[in-house]
């Protein structure tokens, strides 16, 4: 039996941003696995088994997906946004490293529109020059590393996209990040809070970093901090193409 595993990104929320490639994989799937709210975005149909699971179960979920594919099922493992950006694709390859019996499973990684790109498009072009992305979740890395990366990103004058800025279990992390950024001299920089982009709850707010408050971000917010040249033109925010 030859099954398959597609690791697919559902985009930031709007169904119009699901790629045709991902839609085709979902249409051919026998099984869809993923974090409960993401599986909830996949329409039920005859012959499709949905396997929602809890957020913290990434490695188990990846192992389950590989096992089902090895049994001959056509499995799609869904993430929001892009599956390779702070999401399930890495978990699958970690599981594969630990389980050589699955090395022959046909795996495909299907890209999606990551939150950072959807957020940037709403604001204008804040990622139009060099930028980096940092995951503020300290579940899998120490805060010291986040602190170091924030400071070095400022020193390199990158625009910075922050994923997972704030959650109920780590309410203080984003406040610490704002403190580090102010200490690093970013008070005058523009900071964009892009909440639930491309959904009915979308809300975008741009302020100077010195005026930013921790409550402006929650777990559905993608934060973009401009570089030192990022500016406004009318209602838009953009990073000029030239840097010195």
Residue 76 belongs to what H/E stretch? strand 74-79
Rank residues 13 and 63 by Cβ distance to ligand SAH and give the closer one.
Answer: 13
* Site residues for ligand SAH per CB under 6 A: 12-13, 79-82, 85-87, 114-115, 119, 163-165, 194, 196-199, 219-222
- Least CB distance to ligand SAH at residue 219 (A): 5
Q: By three-state DSSP, how is residue 30 classified?
A: coil
Q: Please, which residues have CB within 8 angstroms of residue 106's CB and are 6 or more apart in sequence?
A: 2, 3, 4, 5, 69
Of 86, 115, 87, which is closest to residue 17 (Cα–Cα)? 115
- Least CB distance to ligand SAH at residue 137 (A): 8
Q: In what order do the strands lie in the sheet with 236-238?
A: 124-125, 236-238, 231-233
Rank residues 163 and 238 by Cβ distance to ligand SAH and give the closer one.
Answer: 163
- Least CB distance to ligand SAH at residue 184 (A): 21
Cα–Cα distance measured from residue 17 to residue 11, given in angstroms and rounded to the nearest whole number: 6
Give the CB-nearest residue to ligand SAH.
Answer: 81
Cα dist from 115 to 158, 199, 224, whole Å: 18, 12, 11
Spatial contact of 213 and 241, defined as CB atoms under 8 Å apart: no
Q: What is the CA radius of gyration of the chain?
A: 19
- Least CB distance to ligand SAH at residue 111 (A): 9
Rank residues 193 and 238 by Cβ distance to ligand SAH and give the closer one.
Answer: 193
Rank residues 63 and 173 by Cβ distance to ligand SAH and give the closer one.
Answer: 173
- Least CB distance to ligand SAH at residue 42 (A): 16
Rank residues 30 and 93 by Cβ distance to ligand SAH and give the closer one.
Answer: 93
């Amino acid at each position: 039996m030859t099954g398959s595993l597609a690791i697919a990104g559902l985009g930031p929320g709007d169904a119009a941003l699901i790629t045709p490639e991902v839609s085709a994989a979902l249409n051919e799937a026998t099984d869809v696995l993923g974090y409960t709210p993401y599986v909830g975005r996949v329409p039920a149909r005859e012959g499709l088994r949905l396997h929602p699971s809890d957020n913290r179960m990434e490695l188990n979920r990846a192992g389950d997906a590989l096992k089902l594919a090895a049994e001959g099922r056509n499995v799609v493992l869904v993430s929001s946004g892009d599956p390779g950006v702070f999401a399930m694709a890495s978990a699958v390859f970690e599981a594969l490293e630990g389980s050589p019996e699955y090395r022959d499973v046909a795996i495909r990684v299907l890209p999606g529109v990551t939150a950072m790109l959807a957020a940037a498009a709403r604001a204008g072009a804040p990622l139009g020059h060099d930028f980096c992305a940092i995951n503020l979740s300290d579940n899998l890395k120490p805060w010291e590393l986040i602190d170091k990366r924030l400071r070095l990103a400022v020193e390199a004058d990158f625009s910075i996209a922050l994923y997972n800025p704030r959650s109920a279990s780590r309410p203080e992390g984003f406040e610490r990040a704002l403190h580090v950024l102010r200490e690093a001299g970013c008070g005058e920089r523009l900071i964009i809070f892009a909440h639930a982009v491309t959904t009915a709850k979308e809300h975008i707010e741009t302020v100077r970093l010195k005026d930013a408050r921790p409550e402006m971000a929650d777990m559905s917010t993608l934060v973009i901090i401009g570089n030192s040249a990022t500016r406004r033109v009318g209602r838009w925010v953009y990073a000029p193409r030239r840097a010195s």
